[in-house]
Amino acid sequence: MRKWTVPSALLLLCLLLLFSDQGRKLQANAEEDSEELVDPPKVEEKIGAVPNGLSTDSDVAKREAESISKKSLRNTAEKFEFQAEVSRLMDIIINSLYSNKDIFLRELISNASDALDKIRFLSLTDKEILGEGDNTKLEIQIKLDKEKRILSIRDRGIGMTKEDLIKNLGTIAKSGTSAFVEKMQTSGDLNLIGQFGVGFYSVYLVADYVEVISKHNEDKQYVWESKADGAFAISEDTWNEPLGRGTEIRLHLRDEAGEYLEESKLKELVKRYSEFINFPIYIWASKEVDVEVPADEDESSEEEESSESSSSEEETGDEDEEKKPKTKTIKETTYEWELLNDVKAIWLRNPKEVTDEEYTKFYHSLAKDFSDEKPFSWSHFTAEGDVEFKAVLFVPPKAPQDLYESYYNANKSNLKLYVRRVFISDEFDELLPKYLNFLKGLVDSDTLPLNVSREMLQQHSSLKTIKKKLIRKALDMIRRIADEDPDEFNDKDKKADVDKSTDNDEKRGQFAKFWNEFGKSIKLGIIEDATNRNRLAKLLRFESTKSDGKLTSLDQYISRMKSGQKDIFYLTGTNKEQLEKSPFLERLKKKNYEVIFFTDPVDEYLMQYLMDYEDKKFQNVSKEGLKLGKDSKDKELKESFKELTKWWKSSLASENVDDVKISNRLDNTPCVVVTSKYGWSANMERIMQSQTLSDASKQAYMRGKRVLEINPRHPIIKELRERVVKNPEDEGVKQTAQLMYQTALFESGFLLNDPKEFASRIYDSVKSSLDISQEAVVEEDEDAEEIEAESDSKESADTTEAGADADADIDLDDVKDEL
C-alpha cells in the first residue's frame, strides 16, 4: 500500500473542503430557482442518428428545435379522408386475426424495388436524373430504433410528389382494392395482398402510426402520416433530413409487434421473402468488436504497486526508457450497413447449379405469392443465335381470381422484361399471347436496345423471335407436367414401374390439378393460336363415357377407338350427369363407342376451330351426319315409314323443321331433334340466348334447320304410323305428333318457344288417359265470387267518400276566394 507523506495529506484535505463548499452553493442556487423550472419539450430524435443511444448537447438542442417546428407543421398539415374502399381495407387489416404479420416487410421492400426500377429505367435516357453522391446508390436501407419502437425502410427510388402521395396512399383506390376486400371476405387469406396492388396497407398489421417521407425530383419533400383512423395528413417536410430523392417509411410499432425490433427477425424475413430482389438490401446492424482502451487509473496503480513489491530490491539500468501507456481490451458495440441479399440473380446462373428450393423462393418473390405451394413447373433456359436472351418461366399453383375477367379487353402480362440486366417493364404484353398470360417469369435480353421507348420496343424485329421461342418453351414446360405425372401414362408396364418410385408421389395427379386451374386457357389457345393448335390439342383433357370419372386425353381416346372407327365422337352440355342420360348416346353405348363430354361453355367455340386431330374428324353426336356403319334394313325402314315421315314433316312446317328421318342413334327413345351439321347445337343456342347483347336476327340464321329423327323400332312410332295411314286428318293424331315433337325438343336440350302451349298439351293428354272429356271445365269458386262482390261494394263506398271530400275541398276554396 502506498505511504502518504504529511504534505500530500494536507493538500488532499484542502481540496475536499473546497469542493464540498462549492457543492452546497450549487444546491442552494438550485433550490432558489426550482419554482422557475419547467419540463423541457419532448424531443423526437431522428431515427438512427446515434446508433449507440448516446447523444451530445448540440444534438439535443438541434432535435429540440426540430420537434417544435414539426409540431407546428403537423397542426397545419393538410387533412384528407381515406376513400371508402381503402377504409374498408384498413379496417379489415387492423382488426385481422391473421397470424402471419411478417408480410408487411416484404410488401414494403417490393414497393421500394419497384420505385428503384422506375428511376433506373428513366436514367437510361437521362443520366443526370440520379443526381450525385449517395443518390446514385440504388439500394434499400432498413433501420430500427428500439427505444422509440420505430422501424424505418428507405429507398433511393423515384420518390413521390404530393399528388402521388394523395393518389397512391389514400383517396383514389386502385381496382385491386375492391378485389382484395372481396377476396379477404370470402377466403380470409391476407397473404395475397401484394397481388392486388395494395400491399402498402399491410403495415397496419404491426404499426398504429405510419409516416411516409418522400422526395421526387420534380417536387419538394413531403410527409404523409396516418394513424389508420379514417384520415391522413400531408405536409411539407422541413424538419427531417433531406432525402435527396426517394422514400422513407417509418413504422411506429404496436406493443405486440416488438419482435420486429430485433435485427435477427428482420434478417430472417429478408432472407425468406426478399432474397432475390434485384437491388442491394442493407440493415443498420450492430456487432461487437474488440477495442484497445487506456487502463483505468486505479487499475494502473494496483499494477504499479504489484510491480514495485516484486522488484523492490532490483535496480535497472534503463530508467530513462520511455514507459508505454497501459491499455486493456474491451467489447464495444458498433454499427455498420450489412448486406442481406448477396445471391446472384437466378437467371444469370447455370440451371444445373440452382436447387428446386431456390427456384421456389425466386418464384414466390417474383410473383408475390407467398403461399406454401410450389409452382407446377418451371423452365430456365438461354436462347442463343441472332437473338440472345435468358428466361425463367413458372406455372403458378393457382389461377388468379381475375384471370378471365375482361380477357379480350385488358392487357395483362406477368413477365418482367429486362434488357442487359436493367428492368424495363412488367406491363409488356407482347412477349406472350393472351392465353398464356397466367405464366409468371422474367426475360433478360442482350439483343433489344436500351435507350428506346416502349413503343419502339414493341416494333423491334427481335421481339417476334423472342415471343416464338417463349411460346415453344412454355408449351414444352406444360407438357412436361403431364409427362412426369404417373396418372397420365398409357403404358401399364411403364406406369407400374413409376408407381414403385416414391419420388413421383409429389407429381401424381399434378396435371389434373393444372387442368382444373388453367384448362380454359389451353382451350382459348386452340381458338387463337392456329400455329400451335395441334400442340395445344395434345394438352386437352376431358371426361368421357369410358374415363371412369377421370380426365383423359385425345391420344388416349384414339388408343381406345374401335376398329374401323373414323370419327372422334363428342357431346356438349351443361354437366356430365345430364349428358350421361342423353338419348343421343343410346346406340353409341350399345355398340361400345366412346363419347367425349364437353361441359365448359368455351367448348362450343373450341370445336368450331378444332376440326380434326391426327387425321380423325370430330363428330358432334347431337348433329346430323352420324355414321355408325351400314344397316342392311335402312332402305327397307325408310320405305316403310315414308308416309309417316312425309306427313310429320308437313305437320311441323311452322316449327323450323327441315326434315323428318329414320334415326340410327336411338334405342329406347321414340324420337330426338338434331341440328344441321354447320348450325348451332342445342347447347350453343342456350349459351347464345343467355348473352346480354345477343342479336336475335343473327341467331335465327346461325341456328340452322332442325331435323326430327324417329326410332322405327319404338312402339309409339309404330302405332303413330298405323293411325296416320288410316286417317291422316285425325286431330288426335296431329296433337299427339305435336306433343311428341315438343317433348323431343325439350329432351334434346332445346328451349321451348311456348312452354304454356307445351304444358296445355300435356294436361290434355292426361285428361285422355283418365277418360276425362276435353270439354270438361273447372268449377267456379263461390267464395271467390263473394269476396269479389264485397271488394266491389267497398270500392264503391270509397269512391263516394272520396267524392264528399272533394266537395268539401271545393267549398273551402270558394270561401278563400270570397275572403
Query: Binding site annotation covers 381?
Result: no
Position 465, amino acid: T
Q: How big is the chain by its Cα radius of gyration, in Å?
A: 43
CB 336 within 8 A of CB 348: no
Query: Binding site annotation covers 607?
Result: no
Task: Quote the cell numbers at residue 74.
Answer: 403537423
Find residue 706's DSSP bridge partners.
657, 675
CB 683 within 8 A of CB 573: yes
Query: Binding site annotation covers 198?
Result: yes
455: nearest Cα among 463, 444, 446, 467: 463
Q: HSE (CB half, 13 Å, CA atoms) of 633? A: 8
Residue given cell 321414340 in the structure block: 670
Contacts for 646 with CB less than 8 Å, ≥ 6 apart: 660
How far is Cα of residue 543 from the mean position of the Cα atoms in its chain? 28
Query: Binding site annotation covers 111?
Result: yes
Residue 588 parent element (H or E) = helix 586-590
Question: If phi over 0 gives left and psi between -120 and 50 gives alpha, with beta otherwise, what is residue 743?
Answer: alpha
Q: What share of the chain is helix, strand, coil (3-state, %, to 5)?
A: 50, 15, 35
Q: How many residues does the chain have?
A: 819
- What is 747-796 written as a DSSP string? HTTPPPS-HHHHHHHHHHHHHHHTT--TT--PPP-HHHHHHHHHHHHHHH
In angstroms, the CA 187 to CA 196 distance is 15
Query: Binding site annotation covers 321?
Result: no
In angstroms, the CA 441 to CA 433 distance is 14
Query: Binding site annotation covers 199?
Result: yes
CB 598 within 8 A of CB 551: no
Query: Binding site annotation covers 155?
Result: yes
Exposure class string for 390-401: b at 16+ Cβ within 10 A, else e: bbbbbbbbbbbb
CB 635 within 8 A of CB 585: no
Find residue 710's DSSP bridge partners.
662, 671
In angstroms, the CA 64 to CA 354 distance is 53
CB 526 within 8 A of CB 520: no
Exposure class string for 561-594: b at 16+ Cβ within 10 A, else e: eeeebebbbbbbbeebeebeebbbbbbbeeeebb
In angstroms, the CA 599 to CA 593 distance is 19
Query: Binding site annotation covers 195?
Result: yes
Task: Quote the cell numbers at residue 277.
Answer: 430482389
Query: Binding site annotation covers 308?
Result: no
Pairing verdict, β 543-544 and 595-598? antiparallel
Query: Binding site annotation covers 362?
Result: no
Query: Binding site annotation covers 572?
Result: no
Q: Is 490 helix (H, G, I), strand (E, B) or coil?
A: coil
Query: Binding site annotation covers 247?
Result: yes
Query: Binding site annotation covers 511?
Result: no
CB 689 within 8 A of CB 751: yes
Position 227, amino acid: K
Residue given cell 504529511 in the structure block: 6
Give all strands (DSSP E) within 58-190, no chain letters.
Answer: 78-81, 140-145, 150-155
In angstroms, the CA 495 to CA 3 distance is 99
Q: Is 389 helix (H, G, I), strand (E, B) or coil?
A: strand
Query: Binding site annotation covers 160?
Result: yes
In angstroms, the CA 810 to CA 804 distance is 10
81: nearest Cα among 220, 234, 253, 247: 234
Residues making up the binding site for ATP: 107, 111, 155, 160, 168, 174-176, 195-200, 247, 454
Could you list the residues known to form a binding site, using ranges: 107, 111, 155, 160, 168, 174-176, 195-200, 247, 454
